[in-house]
Amino acid sequence: MNITLHKSQLANRKSNITITGSKSESNRLLLLQALYPEFKLENVSNSDDSNLMTNALSSASEIIDIHHAGTAMRFLTAYFSIQEGRDTILTGSKRMKERPIKILVEALQELGADISYVENEGFPPIKISGKKLTKSKVSLNANVSSQYISALLLIASKLENGLELTLNGEITSVPYINMTLSLLDEIGVASSFINNVITVKPNTSAKQTKTLVVESDWSSASYYFSIVALSQVGTEITLSSYNANSLQGDSKLVEIYKHFGVSTIFNENSLTLKKEDSNIKPLTLDLKNAPDIAQTIAVTCFALGVACDLTGLHTLKIKETDRLVALKTEIEKLGGEVKITDKSLHLLASNLIKEGVSITTYNDHRMAMAFAPLGLRTSIKIQDAEVVSKSYPTFWEDLKSLGFQITE
């Protein structure tokens, strides 16, 4: 499905949007619930990724296909490694078969896991023969994707001797590691994170029955920060349900978007974004702890005609697409000028935004949603717009409710 966003204005100065649970929190808690069925979950993400995670965890099939869901691939690799006596082949889409898994596989093998490659060395699909893992010490380079680290931490309490994980070098994506440890703590699993060593204690005892409510997704909120930044002074959008003391790294949007004149007010479980008068200057940011919002920020800067230098983006090259190359290609179609390295993006200031440009989404939900706010400045086409269902299935309906003029 290709759509066109016609140049629009928001229908109301004040609007409300409800966003479902964080994909990051949901996928972690779904795996933990499979290990510890005693607790219940509310406000679980309605994203494709979380639905795929749910289906995979409840499936008795030998072949599990997780399509484009990278988080599920990593977390389930660890999960099936400890399912004693069960053989599983974990596979995915064509792009998933190009996304590396070797770092995680080698760490699990070091702990005693039985994993082999079905096609290409270092990449899915993989065959996992579940067994009891008795070893408890492993090390990883600290700058790898935090999902490799979290995958190990999520199963750690079910290892006979727990886990001592040493991270070598400078750690990236610390908030996502802390999120995993905080969720472990919520269900009663003891852990520590001192210097570069993370320790998780073994825990086989039954957990106290409780209900955990998943906080709404901050990555999904980022598109509304962008919309407010591009709107008239006084525009307000209220989002639910968000916490001021969020576990999600992308909550740094609150500080970042002050730069664009967006103020944030927390009221119980809601978050109100308001456009204030501002003098916007060039932006320099290190996003190593929140790389998923890089696309939104880059497009916001482009739309406002302001330069930006974004660093800490090395993990973007192994996402649904090479997001750095994709951003450069699509922004330059619109008339911008972008320079990239393997871990940074540099956008030059420009007041030109071409009309009617067709944005390629590369099977990447964040490409589709990051460029959507440009509908407030110009008419723009989004190819394969249904890709948003990976993380935010109701995105286009929610934009229409704000006043965006969208046709298929």
Please list the active-site residues. Answer: 292
Q: What is d(CA 52, CA 313) in angstroms, rounded to the nearest whole number?
A: 27
Parallel, antiparallel, or unpaired: how do β-strands 338-340 and 283-286 relate? unpaired
Nearest alpha carbon to residue 296 among 214, 397, 394, 395: 395
DSSP alpha helix (H) spans, 82-170: 102-110, 146-156
The phi, psi pair for 192, rounded to 5°, reads -145, 150
Sheet with 197-200, side-by-side order of all strands: 137-141, 163-168, 197-200, 191-194
The token pair at 200 is 């998780």
- Measured on CA atoms in the order 393, 397, 402, 405, is the torsion positive or negative? positive
CA distances for 364 relative to 2, 313, 315, 316, angstroms: 14, 16, 15, 11
For tokens 């994993």, the residue is: 115
Q: What is d(CA 151, CA 347) in angstroms, rounded to the nearest whole number?
A: 34
| Number of helical H runs and strand E runs in the chain | 12, 22
Q: What is d(CA 282, CA 372) in angstroms, rounded to the nearest whole number?
A: 22
CA distances for 148 relative to 137, 158, 172, 176, 181, angstroms: 15, 17, 12, 11, 14
Q: Is the peptide bond before 125 cis (omega within 30 degrees of 0)?
A: yes
Nearest alpha carbon to residue 70 among 328, 396, 386, 323: 323
How big, in percent rounded to 5, are the helix, strand and coil portions of the chain? Answer: 35, 25, 40
DSSP alpha helix (H) spans, 12-101: 23-35, 48-58, 70-81
